[in-house]
């Protein structure tokens, strides 16, 4: 067992790799603006036209529709119902009209703290996650932001009554179960969440932005996480008053989306919610953008790899007439791959390694931010001058018509993709609920579409000038020791003159009378699992093609994958696969067909397509996300990117520099460093898996890369005899195959045998050890544990290992998470995973803990792991919850095209049959306690 102790936190960017729902469940998320466009696609005059012209967007946006019914209970609860029968699941989305902007002085962080308390049980539900997880809800979640608090779960149809019972019990029967012990524990969890965010590189940015843009007392000034002082001062009486003032049904929108009809929804919602009385209406908050009287500059220091310059303005809210035009402006300026700042500062003058532009839109204001990461070695003054000049040039000239069209196309494509999900944070339920809550119309996304469709280049220029010619807040980050601490930030802002009043947080609150007991409804049995039919074919050159047709949205995912991955670097240089794949879309050259990076990006944007290269430990791949109507021209572009990358010397030098900077940033991040060094610590040097787990390689390996070495790696690994093509989406096989033949059917393998990775290198026995990396002054330690297991990904019959992991650390209710988070409050969350590569599988455990509890946490982790199963074998309740939960949740795992794609590719890579997924229920039912313990 290897334990790498890092004094820091989880980085949100790596959650998809190592953390499932447990560590993300309380993550705050901003209100999402639904904006679309109607526009005709045009082709760039100086780029070669695809053989098949893209379809006009006007014909595609007609598919963007979420039909719904609505009704309101006598107590004021507003209910929206959208029927979508594609899978036997229902998204339950609950929006409370209260967020951090409603908090008064001395009570910052209360909305978010209560979000945590809402998960801690009610008068009739001991723990909300226990029955829902057993019922098959993997996505139980909640979030708090300035304007609202929401709770979401996607459940099997048979568990809808249970989900509504639980939501109604915490809405109407919560207070009697909120004890001092629960408050103290969740206070500790929230404070560790705050430390976790604060300790991230650039982690104090949001505090600085809020403080710089808004005066003391402005509702959007204090952070949703709140201040440590206010959290410490929260008493049981305080949180009871906060609940009574804000969480009544007349302040709620409930959206049900999926396998449910209006009659069923009315019957169940009335049964479970009608008895809850009205309460006080949440008072409206006055808030508006703020004009700074003069420019403000604030320089902050942090452990960062690059100097980052930010320019910030407060801007218009969700329903303002300028908001759509500003969204387009931000995409054109720094949000598209072909953005002005990318073209000028990253690719052109090469003064930056990364740029961004965003408009974070809330109900009453927005925060408009533009950033630049200065390339190491570049003079800061020269870079800042160019940065300022490029923004000014855009404000002076405005965008071109083609830029506006490309930005609109990107919006449409992203919106269509979002509508695959019936629930969760950004699906159809959230779209309807936010439309009603913030704009008075569940179908407000249609009005947004019309507003975007009407935007012209002149509108974009005028809106950008109106808001960005005002004095800006500059927040600049430089490398160095921090001079500010997050513990003292995030509050009302006048703590120096109005310190938090002393409060007796242990003073008992008056007893509350509990209401009559309520009994949870049973969960109906789930039917047989359905999975899209798998169709197989071969191209003329032998490349295997797998298709799963799904018609829920008019989009198609196409992945061409190669048996390579980071493990292939063992035969080349560390970082080769990652750098080679990053260069695929930087330029192509094939006969008369020549495109640079900007032209490639522009073509994707006109097509509403996205092409991304990626590598995992075993696999290198290129994935196309396309609109069905534009698949042929999109595949033509993908063909050139995959087969004919230019590897021009200037592009190689630039992207090599970007990857070197990314490596430095990773090594400056405690979690990033842990993941980077883990595989070389875990595997013997001769094993292909002993490569940095992030694929970034090392400085020496990157420095040695040239156009020739990358061309050689491309020819060696990206070849048709190592390739497989997987397609999921709205496309029939008879339509698909001719397109794939035209793009990849004539691709011939080079002479010589294909390379083979030796995954059977003997694994030396290693002793248990602890490796420590010191970061003085960090408020958290990041603990990662790892162990190679005596099984490989291709071995059959090891589903019991995954069930055992769920019991130990793989779910929110796991032993490790319940111990360190829910019981001891030393962590925001503990998570474990069992990796599933082709070769030896490994167990990984992640635990960010407060620094003063590092040693105690290590002891607790070791004790929990040694106790399972020596003294504490799996219980019947744990086994039933884990196996039933896995069976019932299966339909939710295959809702989107991307989920289906991932499942097919994993099964194909590991040699499983097409019936593996539909056979999983029977497999899990056969797993008993003896198998889990073993």
Arithmetic mean of pLDDT, 23-30: 30
Q: pLDDT at position 446, please?
A: 87
Name the token pair of 456. 């012209």
Q: pLDDT at position 44, please?
A: 34
At 514, the pLDDT band (50, 70, 90 cuts) reads confident
* Dihedral angle over CA of 565, 570, 572, 576, nearest 10: 40
Q: What is the spatial distance between Cα 463 and Cα 289, in angstroms, rounded to a whole number?
A: 14
Name the token pair of 72. 């309101």
At 60, the pLDDT band (50, 70, 90 cuts) reads low
Q: pLDDT at position 826, please?
A: 93
Q: What is the spatial distance between Cα 810 and Cα 889, in angstroms, rounded to a whole number?
A: 15
Q: List, for residues 585-595, the tens digit of each pLDDT value.
A: 999 999 888 99
Nearest by Cα to 384 from 417, 351, 408: 351
Q: pLDDT at position 11, please?
A: 30
Q: pLDDT at position 38, please?
A: 25
Residue 171 pLDDT more than 50?
A: yes
Q: List, for residues 419-465, the tens digit of each pLDDT value.
A: 778 888 888 999 999 999 999 999 998 888 888 888 899 999 999 99
Residue for token pair 């969480």: 247
| Sheet containing 78-83, strands listed edge to edge, beginning at the edge strand earlier in sequence | 69-72, 78-83, 252-258, 89-96, 149-156, 141-144
Is the link from the previous residue into 520 a cis peptide, with omega within 30 of 0? no
Element spanning 537, H or E: strand 534-538
Residue 333 pLDDT more than 70?
A: yes
Q: In the beta sheet, which residues pair with residue 887? A: none
Q: List, for residues 282-322, the tens digit of each pLDDT value.
A: 999 999 999 999 999 999 999 898 999 999 999 999 999 99
Residue 18 pLDDT more than 70?
A: no
Q: Which of 19-33, 93-107, 132-146, 658-672 is predicted least confidently?
A: 19-33
At 524, the pLDDT band (50, 70, 90 cuts) reads confident
Q: pLDDT at position 19, please?
A: 30
At 502, the pLDDT band (50, 70, 90 cuts) reads low
Using a cut of 0.85, tell me whether the model's pTM lies above it.
yes
What percentage of the chain reaches a pLDDT higher than 70? 92
Q: pLDDT at position 327, please?
A: 94
More confident residue, 411 or 699: 699
Arithmetic mean of pLDDT, 156-174: 94
More confident residue, 885 or 41: 885
Q: pLDDT at position 515, please?
A: 80
At 50, the pLDDT band (50, 70, 90 cuts) reads very low
Write the secondary structure of 866-913 as one string of H (helix), E (strand) and C (coil).
HHHHHCCCCCHHHHHHHHHHHHHHHHHHHCCHHHHHHHHHHHHHCCCC
Q: What is the spatial distance between Cα 428 and Cα 430, in angstroms, rounded to a whole number?
A: 5
* Dihedral angle over CA of 329, 331, 335, 338, nearest 10: -110
Q: What is the DSSP letter of 926?
A: T
First to last CA, the chain: 18
Contact 850, 903 (CB under 8 A): no
Arithmetic mean of pLDDT, 739-752: 95
Arithmetic mean of pLDDT, 688-699: 94
Q: List, for residues 229-252, the tens digit of each pLDDT value.
A: 999 998 988 888 999 999 999 999
Contact 770, 681 (CB under 8 A): no
Q: What is the spatial distance between Cα 674 and Cα 318, in angstroms, rounded to a whole number?
A: 40
Q: pLDDT at position 21, please?
A: 29
Residue 503 pLDDT more than 70?
A: no
Arithmetic mean of pLDDT, 749-767: 90
Residue 40 pLDDT more than 60?
A: no
What percentage of the chain reaches a pLDDT higher than 90? 70
Q: pLDDT at position 57, please?
A: 54
Q: pLDDT at position 61, please?
A: 62
Q: pLDDT at position 132, please?
A: 85
Q: pLDDT at position 511, please?
A: 74
At 47, the pLDDT band (50, 70, 90 cuts) reads very low
- Annotate 197-217 with DSSP letters as a single string: HHTSTTTTHHHHHHHHHS-TT
Q: What is the spatial distance between Cα 501 and Cα 647, in angstroms, rounded to a whole number?
A: 63
Q: pLDDT at position 465, please?
A: 98
At 505, the pLDDT band (50, 70, 90 cuts) reads low
76: left (phi over 0), alpha (psi -120 to 50) or beta: left
Q: pLDDT at position 221, please?
A: 97
- For helices 631-643 and 597-607, the axis angle rounded to 10 degrees is 160
Mean pLDDT across the chain: 89
């Amino acid at each position: 067992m290897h334990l790498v102790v890092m004094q820091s936190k989880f980085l949100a960017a790596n959650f998809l790799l190592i953390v499932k729902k447990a560590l993300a469940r309380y993550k705050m998320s901003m209100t999402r603006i639904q904006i679309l466009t109607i526009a005709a696609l045009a082709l760039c005059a100086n780029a070669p036209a695809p053989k098949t012209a893209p379809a006009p967007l006007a014909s595609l946006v007609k598919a963007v529709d979420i039909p719904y019914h609505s009704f309101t209970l006598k107590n004021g609860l507003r209910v929206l119902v959208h029927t979508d029968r594609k899978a036997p699941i229902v998204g339950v989305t609950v929006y409370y009209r209260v967020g951090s902007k409603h908090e008064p002085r001395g009570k910052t962080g209360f909305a978010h703290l209560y979000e945590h308390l809402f998960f801690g049980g009610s008068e009739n539900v001991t723990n909300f996650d226990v029955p829902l997880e057993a019922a098959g809800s993997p996505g139980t979640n909640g979030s708090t932001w300035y304007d609202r608090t929401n709770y979401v779960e996607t459940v099997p149809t048979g568990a809808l009554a249970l989900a509504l019972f639980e939501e109604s019990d915490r809405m109407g029967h919560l207070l009697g179960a909120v004890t001092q012990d629960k408050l103290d524990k969740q206070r500790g969890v929230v404070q560790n969440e705050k430390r976790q965010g604060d300790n991230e590189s650039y982690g104090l940015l949001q505090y600085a932005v809020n403080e710089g843009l808004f005066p003391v007392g402005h509702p959007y000034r204090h952070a949703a996480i709140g201040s440590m002082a206010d959290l410490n001062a929260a008493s049981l009486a305080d949180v009871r008053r906060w609940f009574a003032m804000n969480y009544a049904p007349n302040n709620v929108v409930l959206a049900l989306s999926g396998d449910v009809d209006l009659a069923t929804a009315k019957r169940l919602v009335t049964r479970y919610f009608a008895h809850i009385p009205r309460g006080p209406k949440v008072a409206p908050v006055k808030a508006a953008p703020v004009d700074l009287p003069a420019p403000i500059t604030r320089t902050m220091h942090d452990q960062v790899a690059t100097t980052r310059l930010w320019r910030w303005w407060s801007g218009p809210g969700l329903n303002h007439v300028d908001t759509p035009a500003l969204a387009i402006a931000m995409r054109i300026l720094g949000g598209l791959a072909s953005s002005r700042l990318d073209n000028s500062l990253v690719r052109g003058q090469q003064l930056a390694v990364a740029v961004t532009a965003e408009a974070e839109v809330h109900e009453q204001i927005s925060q408009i931010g533009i950033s630049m990461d200065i390339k190491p070695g570049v003079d800061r003054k020269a870079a800042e001058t160019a940065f300022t000049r490029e923004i000014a040039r855009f404000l002076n000239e405005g965008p071109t018509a083609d830029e506006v069209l490309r930005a609109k196309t990107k919006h449409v494509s992203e919106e269509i993709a979002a509508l695959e999900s019936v629930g969760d944070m950004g699906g159809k339920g959230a779209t309807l609920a936010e439309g009603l809550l913030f704009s008075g119309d569940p179908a407000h996304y249609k009005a947004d579409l019309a507003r975007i469709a009407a935007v012209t280049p002149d509108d974009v220029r005028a809106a950008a000038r109106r808001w960005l010619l005002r004095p800006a807040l500059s927040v600049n980050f430089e490398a160095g020791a921090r001079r500010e601490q997050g513990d003292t930030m995030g509050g009302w802002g006048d703590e120096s003159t109005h310190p938090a009043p002393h409060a007796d947080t242990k003073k008992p609150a008056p007893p509350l009378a509990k209401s009559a007991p309520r009994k949870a409804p049973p969960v109906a049995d789930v039917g047989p699992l359905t999975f899209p039919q798998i169709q197989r074919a071969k191209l003329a050159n032998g490349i295997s093609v797998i298709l799963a047709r799904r018609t829920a949205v008019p989009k198609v995912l196409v992945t061409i994958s190669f048996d390579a991955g980071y493990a292939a670097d063992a035969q080349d240089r560390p970082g080769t696969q990652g750098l080679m794949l990053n260069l695929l879309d930087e330029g192509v050259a094939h006969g008369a067909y020549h495109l640079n990076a900007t032209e490639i990006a522009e073509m994707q944007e006109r097509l509403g397509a996205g092409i991304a290269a990626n590598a995992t430990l075993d696999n290198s791949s290129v994935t196309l996300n396309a609109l069905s109507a534009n698949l042929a021209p999109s595949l033509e572009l993908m063909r050139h990117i995959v087969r004919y990358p230019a590897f021009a010397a200037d592009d190689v030098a630039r992207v090599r520099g970007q990857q070197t900077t990314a490596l430095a940033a990773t090594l400056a991040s405690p979690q990033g460093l842990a993941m980077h060094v883990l595989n070389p610590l875990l595997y013997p040097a001769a094993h292909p898996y002993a490569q940095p787990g992030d694929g970034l390689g090392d400085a020496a390996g990157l420095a040695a890369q040239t156009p020739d070495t990358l061309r050689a790696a491309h020819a060696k690994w990206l070849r048709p005899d190592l390739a497989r093509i997987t397609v999921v989406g709205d496309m029939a096989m008879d339509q698909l195959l001719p397109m794939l033949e035209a793009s990849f059917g004539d691709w011939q393998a080079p002479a010589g045998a294909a390379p083979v990775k030796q995954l059977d290198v003997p694994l030396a026995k290693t002793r248990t050890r602890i490796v420590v990396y010191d970061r003085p002054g960090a408020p958290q330690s990041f603990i990662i544990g790892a162990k190679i297991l005596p099984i490989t990904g291709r071995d059959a019959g090891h589903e019991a290992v995954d069930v055992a992991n769920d019991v130990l650390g793989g779910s929110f209710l796991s032993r490790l998470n319940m111990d360190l988070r829910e019981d001891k409050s030393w962590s925001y969350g503990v998570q474990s995973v069992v990796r599933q590569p082709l070769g030896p599988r490994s167990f990984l455990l992640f635990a960010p803990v407060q620094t003063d509890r590092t040693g105690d946490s290590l002891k607790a982790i070791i004790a929990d792991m040694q106790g399972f199963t020596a003294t504490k074998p799996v219980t019947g309740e744990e086994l039933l919850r884990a196996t039933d939960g896995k069976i019932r949740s299966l339909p939710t795992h295959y809702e989107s095209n991307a989920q289906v794609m991932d499942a097919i590719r994993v099964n194909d890579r590991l040699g499983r049959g097409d019936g593996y997924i539909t056979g999983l229920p029977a497999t899990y039912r056969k797993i008993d306690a003896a198998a889990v313990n073993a």
